[in-house]
């Protein structure tokens, strides 16, 4: 009898454990049995718009600017150097048979100026200084006795060797003066011949001779 009382003593820890297990089982049954209420929020549909690409506008041409081109015609002036021919003394002009050079110029061909060939360089004949002592003719005896004085101008042809080949009278105070001058020119006169571009040529030359008496 005492044994039954000992076994029927109330145990609070076991009681609490049993209640906890039962509560867990009941909660699980409720969770599975009760339907779950899910509220879904649906957004309203977005309005559709036409997003098709439109063709780009045609390009705008820039304003055209009229450009006026002025053409200027230039005329080229070509200066052609002129070759100067040395001037002979007044009493000894150059009168050779050679044709004097014409004017220096050019021809126009297709708008271009073609210069003419340069004129040849002419150098007149000159008395050779080595023979200057033999230049003066002998005084004519008759003219000396008559105490006549005068001047003679002759035109002589000078060869390429400097010798006088021909004598012509231009003016003379008397025939005796001219003849004395002619003889001396053909025998004794020597010149440096004229040249054309450095080449000796025959030329005519006027030469004056004076006959003057010496006092005493």
Mean pLDDT for the stretch of residues 16-39:
59
Residue 80 has pLDDT above 90, yes or no: no
* Confidence class for position 60, pLDDT limits 50, 70, 90: confident
56 to 52, 60, 62, 63, 209: CA distances (angstroms):
12, 12, 18, 21, 110
CA distance 139 to 152: 12
Q: How confident is the model at residue 70 (pLDDT cuts 50, 70, 90)?
A: low
pLDDT at position 86 over 80: no
Q: What is the pTM of this model?
A: 0.47
Q: Which residue has the higher pLDDT, 175 or 106?
A: 175
pLDDT at 175: 96
pLDDT band for position 89 (cuts 50, 70, 90): very low
* Helix/strand/coil percentages in the chain, nearest 5: 25, 25, 55
Note the residue count of the chain.
Answer: 216
Q: Which two tokens stand for residue 123?
A: 């150098």
Higher pLDDT pick, 91 / 53: 53
- Residue 15: band (very low, low, confident or very high) from pLDDT cuts 50, 70, 90: low
Copy the structure tokens of residue 73: 């015609």
The pLDDT value recorded for residue 118 is 85
Domains of the chain: 122-211 (3.30.2420.10)
Q: How confident is the model at residue 95, as a pLDDT?
A: 43
Per-residue tokens: 133: 């002592």
In the predicted structure, residue 149 carries a pLDDT above the cut 60: yes
More confident site: 6 or 138: 138
In 3-state terms, what secondary structure has residue 195?
strand
Structure tokens at 88: 């002979």
Q: How confident is the model at residue 90, as a pLDDT?
A: 41
CA distance 64 to 4: 126
d(CA 132, CA 82): 35
Residue-averaged pLDDT of the chain: 73
What mean pLDDT comes out for the span 8-13?
56
Tokens at residue 25, please?
């089982």
Q: What is the pLDDT of residue 115?
A: 73
Quick one: CA torsion of 95, 97, 101, 107, rounded to 10 degrees? 150
| Centroid of chain to Cα 19 | 124
Q: Is the predicted pLDDT of residue 88 greater than 50, yes or no?
A: no
Asked if residue 79 has pLDDT above 60, the reply is: no
Residue with the bigger pLDDT between 27 and 146: it is 146
Tell me the Ramachandran region of residue 197: left when phi exceeds 0, alpha when psi lies from -120 to 50, beta otherwise: left
- CB 86 within 8 Å of CB 156: no
């Amino acid at each position: 009898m005492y044994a039954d009382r000992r076994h029927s003593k109330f145990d609070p820890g076991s009681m609490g454990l049993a209640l906890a297990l039962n509560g867990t089982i009941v909660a699980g049954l409720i969770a599975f049995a009760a339907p779950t209420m899910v509220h879904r929020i649906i957004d309203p549909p977005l309005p559709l718009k036409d997003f098709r690409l439109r063709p780009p506008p045609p390009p705008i041409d820039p304003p055209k600017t009229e450009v006026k081109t002025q053409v200027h015609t230039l005329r080229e002036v070509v200066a052609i150097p002129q070759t100067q021919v040395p001037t002979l003394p007044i009493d000894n002009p150059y009168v050779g048979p050679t044709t004097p050079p014409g004017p220096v110029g050019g021809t126009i061909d297709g708008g271009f100026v073609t210069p003419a060939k340069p004129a040849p360089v002419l150098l007149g004949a000159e008395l050779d200084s080595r023979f200057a002592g033999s230049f003066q003719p002998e005084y004519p005896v008759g003219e000396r006795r008559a105490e006549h004085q005068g001047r003679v101008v002759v035109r002589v042809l000078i060869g390429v060797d400097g010798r006088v080949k021909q004598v012509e009278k231009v003016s003379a105070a008397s025939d005796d003066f001219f003849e004395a001058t002619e003889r001396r020119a053909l025998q004794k006169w020597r010149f440096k011949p004229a040249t054309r571009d450095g080449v000796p040529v025959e030329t005519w030359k006027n030469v004056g001779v004076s006959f003057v008496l010496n006092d005493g």
